[in-house]
Amino acid sequence: MKLNVHERGSGDRVALLVHGGHSLGGLALALAVDRLRPGRVVYSDPGFSLRNVPAAATAAMREMVGSSTVEGIRARNPRWSEEDVAAEAAGFGLFDVAFLDGVAEFDGAYLPERAGVPSLVQLADPSLCVDAEGAALLRERGFEVRVVPGTGHCIHRDDLEGFLRSLEGWV
């Protein structure tokens, strides 16, 4: 685990361990949170309910990962910084598309039964993997759910300021 330290202000210091997971990383984090036992968790448009993903999306993802160029990523995501475009291209270069076969076998109706630790779920508008019914269930199960208006699945890249605002008062 990589530890990032950020200091704000002066005076006494408090250490807060926050784990975060985006997309399928959020799903993996939800499955491990009881063993990790962080102080807080942030799930950013987590891949909880994969049944909500259109059937053709997996084939489209394979195609996108295999054939994307920096120019194509930039054209699909005009609000992204050049650094985000480059990071996405680098990530696609490392992605093992066989992973998608394993995802296809996972329970598509998964939603965590309980938060376990204080947990924030940031949702895109609309979310790819958590619909309104799923968001309501998460709230009932103890999750704080915040929608970041006008964003797609990569909230932090689509609207960094909105992403950070959604964390206010929480982290």
Domain that holds residue 87: 53-108
Whether residue 140 sits in one domain with residue 164: yes
Q: What does pLDDT average to over the chain?
A: 86
Q: Of 11-15, 28-32, 144-148, which has the strongest mean pLDDT?
A: 144-148
Instruction: Judge whether 1 lies within some domain.
Output: no
Structure-token pair, residue 67: 């054939």
pTM: 0.84
Whether residue 92 sits in one domain with residue 21: no
Q: Report the number of distinct structural domains present in the chain.
A: 2
The separation between CA 102 and the C-alpha centre of its own chain, rounded to angstroms, equals: 19
The residues near 83 (Cβ < 8 Å, ≥ 6 apart) are: none
Distance separating alpha carbons of residues 36 and 61, to the nearest angstrom: 30
Distance separating alpha carbons of residues 11 and 109, to the nearest angstrom: 46
CATH number of the CATH domain containing 148: 3.40.50.1820
